[in-house]
């Protein structure tokens, strides 16, 4: 395993294309061969973990299309094929089709760039082509601590590849604030009717994390809001006393992966405890268990709570990973360039250092395929050309690259 992703990236660039996978995959056996952290835990149904690899995997070639970038967190394609990226330290850039990053976009609000916090996800408004509107999430420094907030703005690009944000407005704040630097989430996904799903974290520490089960707290939730930040009137807890009306689902740990499928349904992958990352199809008002019900164990190896993996009135994950992949961004593959991946979810892995391809059937994972990229993957997007683009990061900072994946 290469320890220095940038050296590998340069090697790949100099070769123009490097052919993957780097390791032989065996059809029918799971991609994951390491021992689980919680060997005594049993899945609730067959195929809930360690799904077999497909009989034939696609031969993928990779090409570094941008390098020397600041530590990125998220990427989104603009309609003209350029990329809009967020840098964790609090900057936004447009990357030209030549792979060069333009100057910093002006007027990005101050972010708490500390620990897992910073400038996080970015999404284009559904009417971006006419409105120029974007939405972004960030760790917001506040008088009483910090928390994940969502802002909207108009992106006004200039001739030099830079630009400015106009009409910046914080439309939503996760509450309560907390003085920590972990588990901010987050991803922003627009549903088919323009509703905005916001995923967050539960702030990790023992005291805040139990609030994932508390409907009066915004920690450990998925929210569903309007583009001006209001709870939608048909949300599951709207009008209910003692519940935040913005909540869509509860009992989540740290949600950094989210995407719509071909039917417009929201899917998420969250960071679980050690051995407990999970894929969910979060439904209105449902409880996804954390921290009372989960696969995996604490980082110390101790049981999480009572060590319960199934409980009435909590939802089982569609799929879980032990050991974890440490999910980042995810995309739903609906393009034609890699036909074998049509209908699959592509999930970036920080720890698994590549892209996890989940081939779905009847809302279950039929096959799990892995594309090794030997770098921590922070976001995954499908380009207008049908290629897959993976954003790398280096632990603790350093430069990011963007790798293009195509069928060999
Ligand atoms: Ca769960």
Q: What is the whole-number distance in angstroms between the Cα of residue 399 and the centre of ligand 1?
A: 33
Say how far apart CA 334 and CA 128 lie, in whole Å: 21
Say how far apart CA 225 and CA 207 lie, in whole Å: 27
Sheet strands (E) in 131-193:
133-142, 145-157, 163-173, 187-190
Give percent of the chain above pLDDT 90: 91
Q: Is residue 287 part of a domain?
A: yes
Convert the pLDDT of each residue in 99-129 to its tens digit: 999 999 999 999 999 999 999 999 999 999 9
Asked if residues 365 and 341 have their Cβ atoms less than 8 Å apart, the reply is: no
Q: Is residue 174 part of a domain?
A: yes
Number of domains in the chain: 1
Convert the pLDDT of each residue in 279-327 to its tens digit: 999 999 999 999 999 999 999 999 999 999 999 999 999 999 999 999 9
The predicted structure's pLDDT at residue 397: 84
pTM, full prediction = 0.93
Q: Is residue 255 part of a domain?
A: yes
The predicted structure's pLDDT at residue 6: 39
Give percent of the chain above pLDDT 70: 93
Q: How confident is the model at residue 26 (pLDDT cuts 50, 70, 90)?
A: low
Q: Is residue 5 part of a domain?
A: no
- SS3 string, 206-270, reads HHHHHHHHCCCCCCCCEEEECCCCCECCCCCCCCCCCCCCCEEEECCCEEEEEEECCCCCEEEEE
Say how far apart CA 225 and CA 215 lie, in whole Å: 16
Q: What is the whole-number distance in angstroms between the Cα of residue 343 and the centre of ligand 1?
A: 24
pLDDT tops 70 at residue 3: no
* Collapsed DSSP state (helix, strand, coil) of residue 316: coil
pLDDT tops 70 at residue 7: no
Cα three-residue angle 270-67-372, rounded to 5 degrees: 45
Q: What is the mean pLDDT of residues 335-350?
A: 98
pLDDT tops 50 at residue 1: no
The predicted structure's pLDDT at residue 396: 80
Q: What is the whole-number distance in angstroms between the Cα of residue 226 and the centre of ligand 1?
A: 26
The predicted structure's pLDDT at residue 27: 67
The predicted structure's pLDDT at residue 18: 42
The predicted structure's pLDDT at residue 46: 95
Q: Is residue 2 part of a domain?
A: no
The predicted structure's pLDDT at residue 21: 46
Q: What is the mean pLDDT of residues 334-358?
A: 98
pLDDT tops 90 at residue 2: no
pLDDT tops 50 at residue 15: no
Q: How confident is the model at residue 142 (pLDDT cuts 50, 70, 90)?
A: very high
Convert the pLDDT of each residue in 203-250 to its tens digit: 999 999 999 999 999 999 999 999 999 999 999 999 999 999 999 999
Give me the chain's average pLDDT, please. Answer: 94
Q: Is residue 6 part of a domain?
A: no
The predicted structure's pLDDT at residue 159: 87
Q: What is the whole-number distance in angstroms between the Cα of residue 56 and the centre of ligand 1?
A: 31
Convert the pLDDT of each residue in 76-101 to its tens digit: 999 999 999 999 999 999 999 999 99
Instruction: Please report, for the domain that includes residue 97, its CATH number.
Output: 2.120.10.30
pLDDT tops 50 at residue 20: no
Whether 183 is catalytic is yes
- One of 6, 183, 271, 367 is an active-site residue; which one? 183
Q: What is the whole-number distance in angstroms between the Cα of residue 279 and the centre of ligand 1?
A: 8
Q: What is the whole-number distance in angstroms between the Cα of residue 315 and the centre of ligand 1?
A: 7
Q: Is residue 11 part of a domain?
A: no
pLDDT tops 70 at residue 8: no
Domain assignment of residue 84, given as a range:
17-407
Q: Is residue 164 part of a domain?
A: yes
Q: What is the whole-number distance in angstroms between the Cα of residue 132 and the centre of ligand 1?
A: 36
C-alpha atoms less than 13 angstroms from C-alpha of 390 in its C-beta half-sphere: 31
Q: What is the whole-number distance in angstroms between the Cα of residue 214 and the centre of ligand 1?
A: 15
* Collapsed DSSP state (helix, strand, coil) of residue 153: strand
């Amino acid at each position: 395993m290469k320890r220095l992703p940038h050296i590998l990236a340069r090697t790949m660039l100099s070769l123009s294309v490097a052919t993957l996978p780097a390791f032989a995959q065996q059809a029918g056996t799971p991609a994951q061969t390491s021992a689980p952290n919680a060997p005594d835990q049993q899945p609730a149904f067959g195929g809930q973990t360690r799904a077999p690899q497909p009989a034939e995997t696609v031969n993928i070639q990779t090409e570094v299309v941008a390098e020397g970038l600041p530590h990125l967190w998220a990427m989104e394609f603009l309609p003209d094929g350029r990329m809009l990226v967020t840098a964790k330290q609090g900057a936004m850039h447009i990357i030209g089709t030549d792979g060069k990053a333009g100057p910093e976009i002006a007027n990005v609000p101050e972010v708490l760039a500390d620990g897992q916090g910073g400038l996080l996800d970015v999404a284009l408004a559904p009417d971006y082509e006419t409105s120029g509107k974007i939405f972004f999430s960030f760790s917001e420094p506040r008088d009483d601590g910090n928390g994940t907030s969502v802002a909207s703005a108009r992106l006004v690009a200039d001739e030099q590849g830079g630009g400015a944000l106009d009409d910046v407005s914080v439309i939503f704040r996760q509450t309560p604030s907390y003085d920590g630097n972990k588990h901010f989430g987050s991803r922003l996904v627009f549903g088919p009717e323009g509703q905005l799903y916001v995923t967050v974290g539960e702030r990790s520490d023992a005291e805040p994390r139990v609030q994932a089960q508390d409907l009066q707290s915004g920690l450990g939730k998925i929210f569903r809001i309007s583009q001006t930040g209001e709870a939608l009137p048909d949300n599951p807890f709207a009008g209910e006393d003692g519940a935040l009306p913005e909540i869509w689902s509860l009992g989540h740990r740290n949600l950094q992966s989210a995407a719509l499928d071909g039917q417009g349904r929201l899917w998420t992958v969250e960071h679980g405890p050690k051995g407990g990352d999970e894929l969910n199809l979060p439904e209105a008002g449902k409880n996804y268990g954390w921290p009372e019900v989960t696969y995996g164990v604490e980082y110390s190896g101790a049981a999480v709570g009572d060590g319960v993996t199934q409980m009435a009135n909590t939802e089982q994950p569609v799929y879980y990973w032990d050991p974890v992949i440490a999910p980042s961004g995810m995309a739903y593959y609906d393009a034609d360039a890699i036909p074998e991946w049509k209908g699959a979810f592509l999930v970036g892995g920080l720890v698994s250092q590549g892209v996890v391809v989940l081939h779905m059937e009847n809302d279950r994972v039929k096959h799990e395929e892995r594309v090794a990229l030997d770098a921590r993957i922070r976001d995954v997007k499908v380009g207008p050309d049908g290629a897959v683009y993976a954003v790398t990061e280096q632990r603790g900072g350093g430069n990011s690259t963007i790798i293009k994946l195509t069928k060999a």
